[in-house]
């Protein structure tokens, strides 16, 4: 059995290894909460998903900002830790008795579904995108994945890709910004992203989105009802989320980060 201290050391080294923090940030601590070194802090682990939750965003993104506002409103003591991948977040929820995780479409197994209490925060539409320089005549999406057969599709590890593989699509994994770079370099053929992602990262105006949208994803918090504080915290969080919607703070935070209500 690992001690809690050793687990945190491993977590710290993991962040260093993936480049999420630098050696300078070990000294100054701008990215990782000081409570990492204490044993009595509860953690909410979030998957890196810019512009909604990321160290590169103001206040770590709109979802993190909203979650922190609710935690403060309801006096729920917890720190948000942002991890590089969905798989890492799923691991912590599955193998460690964490208070909660943040993200979307975790596709939990049966055992984890029984202990998961999902609270939706933000609904966003997703679209397929491609590089107009790679496909100057365009692509056409009519709801059938077979049109992408033989093409390279970029996505996160931890996402369900069975339908893509069944359609003969080659799946490549990576983090969002890395995948967008590969799309720009024409090493990927298409991806699925949100409209906000296109608005934020389409600097060269080469990304083209296919209509209609693929569908809607719900970004939110999954509380662990097997954690000693999980059920109580989930109840308080739901109440706090409703309060900040009613007093206008929720709307203000969305507009602050995304530029619209």
Of residues 172, 180, 178, the one with CA closest to residue 202: 180
pTM for the full predicted model:
0.81
CA-to-CA distance for 176 and 48, rounded, in angstroms? 8
Residues 208, 80 share a domain = no
CA-to-CA distance for 186 and 192, rounded, in angstroms? 15
User: Which stretch of DSSP H or E encloses residue 126?
Assistant: strand 116-131
For residue 159, give its domain range.
124-216
Residues 141, 82 share a domain = no
Residues 186, 224 share a domain = no
Residues 223, 165 share a domain = no
CA-to-CA distance for 159 and 76, rounded, in angstroms? 30
Residues 116, 222 share a domain = yes
Residues 233, 116 share a domain = yes
pLDDT digit string (tens) for 19-31?
444 333 333 333 3
Residues 116, 245 share a domain = yes
pLDDT digit string (tens) for 65-84?
999 999 999 999 999 999 99
pLDDT at 141: 87
Total number of domains in the chain: 2
Structure tokens at 161: 């890709």
CATH number at residue 173: 3.40.190.10
pLDDT at 40: 62
The phi, psi pair for 76, rounded to 5°, reads: -95, 120
Whether the per-residue pLDDT at 231 is higher than 70: the answer is: yes
Residues 142, 105 share a domain = no
Residues 169, 136 share a domain = yes
Residues 10, 57 share a domain = yes
SS3 101: strand
pLDDT digit string (tens) for 147-162?
999 999 999 888 889 9
pLDDT at 142: 85
């Amino acid at each position: 059995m690992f001690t809690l201290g050793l687990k945190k050391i491993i977590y710290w080294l993991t962040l260093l290894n993936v480049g999420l923090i630098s050696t300078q940030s070990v000294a100054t601590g701008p990215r990782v909460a000081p409570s990492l070194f204490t044993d009595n802090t509860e953690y909410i682990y979030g998957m890196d998903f810019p512009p909604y939750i990321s160290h590169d965003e103001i206040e770590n993104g709109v979802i993190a900002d909203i979650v922190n506002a609710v935690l403060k409103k309801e006096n729920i003591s917890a720190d948000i830790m942002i991890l590089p991948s969905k798989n890492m977040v799923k691991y912590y929820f599955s193998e460690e008795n964490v208070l909660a995780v943040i993200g979307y479409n975790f596709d939990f197994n049966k055992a984890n579904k029984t202990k998961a209490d999902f609270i939706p925060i933000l609904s966003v539409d997703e679209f397929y995108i491609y590089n107009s320089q790679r496909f100057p005549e365009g692509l056409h999406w009519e709801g059938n994945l077979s049109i992408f057969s033989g093409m390279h599709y970029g996505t996160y590890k931890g996402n369900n890709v069975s339908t893509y593989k069944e359609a003969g699509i080659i799946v490549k994994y990576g983090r969002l910004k890395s995948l967008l770079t590969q799309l720009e370099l024409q090493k990927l053929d298409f991806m699925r992203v949100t409209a906000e992602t296109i608005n934020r990262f389409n600097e060269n105006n080469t990304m083209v989105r296919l209509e209609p949208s693929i569908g809607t994803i719900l970004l939110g918090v999954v509380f662990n009802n097997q954690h000693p504080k999980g059920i109580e915290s989930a109840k308080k969080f739901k109440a706090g989320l409703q309060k900040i919607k009613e007093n206008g703070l929720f709307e203000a935070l969305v507009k602050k980060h995304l530029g619209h209500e």
